[in-house]
Amino acid sequence: MHSDSTQHRPPSSTDALRRLIGLRWLSIATMLGVLLTVPPLLDIPLPHRALLPVAAALLVVNGLTRLRLSHVDDVSAAELFIQLFIDLAAWSAFLYFTGGATNPLISLLLPLVAIGAATLTAAWAWTLAVLAVAAYSVLWDFNEQLDIYDSGLAVHWHLAGMWLTFALSAGVIVWYVVRMTAAIRHRDLALAAAREARLRNERIVALGNLAAGTAHELGTPLGTMAILAGELARNPALDDDTRADAALLGTQIDHCKTILGGLTLRAGSLRAEGGSAVPADAWLRAIADRWRSLRPHVPLATRIDCGNPAPELIADTTLEQAIHNLINNAADACPERVECEAEIDDERLVVRVLDRGPGMPGALQNGRESVAEPGAGLGIGLLLAFSAVERCGGHIGFAPRPGGGTVATLTLPLAALRPTRRP
C-alpha cells in the first residue's frame, strides 16, 4: 500500500510543503495587511473579531507544520492535500466575512488550485479544484456584506483590488512553478548521475569477476615461466647480457604473479584490516619506484612535496593502482618522458601526471568509456582509477598541458586516508 502511493505520488512532496509554508506566511501577511489598511484607507469597517482568529489559526498551523517537517523526511500526497485544504478553508472563511465573491481577494483561491495541480496526484488535484469551485459558488450567495458608503469609490477600489490580486496570483504561481521546475531538474540530474555510477560499478564488478578467473588461469603458466627464467639466469653457458635479461624477465614475472594474487583480494581489504601508516612522501615514492621497476625503459621524473613532516596515510591498494594507471596512460601517450608531481594542498593530496602526448578523448577523460582507439589500449585502467578515487571521495580531472600533452590531476581528501584514531 505504501509503495503504491509512493509510486504514483509526485516526488518532492516534502519540498512542495516547504514552499507552501513560505506561501502561507504570505497569506497571513495579506490577511493582516487587509485588516490594517482597508478600514482607514477605504473607510470600510471590517469584523476584526471574526477575521483575526482566521489569521491566528493559519499562524498556528504553519508553526506546527514547520515543527513536523523537522522530524519527518517524507510527506504523503494526502497530507499535502490536507495542508492545501486548510489554506482553502481559511481563505473561504476570511472571504465570507468580507463580502464573499464580491471581494477581489477571491482570485487568491486560484494559486491554491495551481499548486495542487502541480504537486498532487490527479485524484487529489481534481478534488481540490472541485472544492475551490464549490467554495466560490457558496460565497456567491452566502456571505457577510460589508458596509460601503460610497458606491462609486467602492467600484474604483474593487477594480484596483482585482488588478492587485491578479498580479499577486500570477507572481505566486510563477514563483512556485519555477522553484518546483528547478527542483525537478536538479533531482533528474542527481538520478542520472546515480544511474551512471551504478552502471559503472556494475562494469567494475564484471571486471573483478573476470580478473579473478584470469588470475586462476594464468597462475600455472606464470609459475612455469618463472622456473624457466630462473634456470636461464643461472645457466653459465649464456653470456652476461642474456643472463641479465633472463633475470629481468624473472623479476617481471614475479611482479605479474604479485599483481594477479592481489586481484583475488577484495578491493580495499588491506585498508580494512588496518595496515600500517606510512608518511605520504614515502608512500608516493614507493609507488613511483614500483612503477619504474615495471617499466624501466620509460623515464619517470618525480617531484614530491608533502610537507615536513609529511602526514601519515593508510591507503588501500586500489589507490596505488589508480596512480599506476594514470602514469601508465601517460607513458603510453609519450614513452620518452613522464612527470609526476605530488603535494599537500588544504587538507588534500594532489597528484599530477604530465605527458607530451596527443591528448585524451573526452569519453576517456570522464571515465565513462573503457574502449579506446584501436591499438591505444583498452582504457580499463582509467575506468578502475576513476572508481577507486571516487570511492574515497576524490576526483580525477584532465586538462591540456601548455605546449602540448595532458595533465591528469588526482585529488584525494586526507581525511579518507588518515589512520583511524582509536581510544
Rg over alpha carbons for the chain, rounded to the nearest Å, is 35
CA–CA gap between residue 24 and residue 28 (Å, rounded): 6
pLDDT tens digit sequence for 313-372: 887 677 887 888 889 889 988 888 899 999 987 788 999 999 988 876 654 555 444 444
Cα–Cα distance list, 191 to 124, 196, 198 (Å): 26, 8, 10
The confidence score (pLDDT) of residue 375 equals: 39
Residues facing 341 on adjacent strands = 303, 352
Strand pairing class (300-305; 338-344): parallel
The confidence score (pLDDT) of residue 423 equals: 44
The confidence score (pLDDT) of residue 350 equals: 92
The confidence score (pLDDT) of residue 238 equals: 79
The fraction of the chain above a pLDDT of 90, given in percent, is: 18
Handedness of CA 55, 61, 67, 69 (dihedral sign): negative
Say whether pLDDT at 157 is over 80. no
Q: Strand, coil or helix: what is 381?
A: helix
Spell out the residues 6+ positions from residue 417 whose beta carbon is closer than 8 angstroms to its own: 280, 313, 314, 315, 319, 349, 392
154 pLDDT tier (thresholds 50, 70, 90): low
Query: 3-state DSSP: the chain helix, strand, coil percent, rounded to 5?
Result: 65, 10, 25
Q: Which domains does the chain have, with CATH numbers?
A: 2-149 (no CATH), 203-263 (no CATH), 278-416 (3.30.565.10)
CA–CA gap between residue 372 and residue 307 (Å, rounded): 38
Strand pairing class (395-400; 338-344): unpaired
Say whether pLDDT at 213 is over 90. no
pLDDT tens digit sequence for 93-120: 999 998 888 888 888 888 888 888 888 8
Q: Is the pTM of this model over 0.95?
A: no
Q: Which amino acid is at 205?
A: V
262 pLDDT tier (thresholds 50, 70, 90): low
The confidence score (pLDDT) of residue 149 equals: 61
